[in-house]
Amino acid sequence: MKIATWNINGVKARIENLLHWLQECQPDVACLQEIKSVDDLFPRLEIEALGYHVETHGQKGFNGVAILSKVSPVEVNRGLPGDDSDEQSRFIEAVFTTDKGVIRVVSLYLPNGNPVDTEKYPYKLGWMQRLEDWAKERLELEEPLVLAGDYNIIPQPIDAKHPENWVNDALFLPQSKQAFRRLANLGFYDAIRNVSDEQMFSFWDYQAGAWPKNNGIRIDHLMLSPEAANMLEGAEIEKHTRGWDKPSDHVPVVIQLAC
């Protein structure tokens, strides 16, 4: 099973790129973030024409996540539990049946957290704590679980071309990295780091020539439960999509599972 995550940065603006990539990559499950669309206006017909089932958790103009899949999920859950007042669409979970049982896949869009001296940073840390609490419960099921998405976290200095430029940023502050490590310490594995120690990136800003200078960061991750990690056959970052016309500032990260 091929599972991918991609912060599309506006599905309507990138629909041609998305359709081309779906045909090129042929993921079994594609997790999208920042769709920036309400559910009713998501371009599902074009995607369904390629043979994909579509599940969305949208929001007008901001945020929004989706899961596209070649087979229909048997269960879908929207919204991260733990705060009924949170109206931001950042989390959707789907359960699929496979020859080896079930697999749970989450598309998540973790808050950016900047500026750090505003309410946005406590919201980021609170969201991560809720994710950790939720993940603890899911791990008790002892099922393959993939947490795929834009984490807005630079885990280590190697995950930035110029880490010194990020020391005061919410993506790289010690509290942010600690929260990411707490999630990993529950038993999750970073799919890319499971297959490579090389420096690689998943995001290049639109400004200051970041793409031609390869001034990137790695903030898009697929975190695997032990059961999913045991199935991991490969992981890669599809960097070439950043060079397409009207690209997202993120690129897809793709894993292959033996299931």
Q: How far is CA 173 from CA 23, 85, 163, in A?
A: 38, 26, 11
- The residues annotated as belonging to the active site are 109, 150
Tell me, what's the pLDDT at 100?
82
Rounded Cα gap, residues 26 and 128, in angstroms: 31
Closest CA to 37 of 24, 54, 22, 53: 54
Question: pLDDT grade, residue 253 (50/70/90)?
Answer: very high
Q: Does the pLDDT value for residue 11 go beyond 90?
A: yes
Over residues 22-39, mean pLDDT: 98
Q: What is the DSSP letter of 82?
A: T
Over residues 234-244, mean pLDDT: 98
Domains and their CATH numbers in the chain: 2-257 (3.60.10.10)
Q: Give 141-184 pLDDT, tens digit per residue.
A: 999 999 999 999 999 999 999 999 999 999 999 999 999 999 99
Q: Is the pTM of this model over 0.95?
A: yes
Q: Give 35-52 pLDDT, tens digit per residue.
A: 999 999 999 999 999 999
Q: Give 185-231 pLDDT, tens digit per residue.
A: 999 999 999 999 999 999 999 999 999 999 999 999 999 999 999 99
| 3-state DSSP percent of the chain in helix, strand and coil, to 5 | 30, 30, 45
Over residues 122-129, mean pLDDT: 98
For the chain, give the mean pLDDT.
98
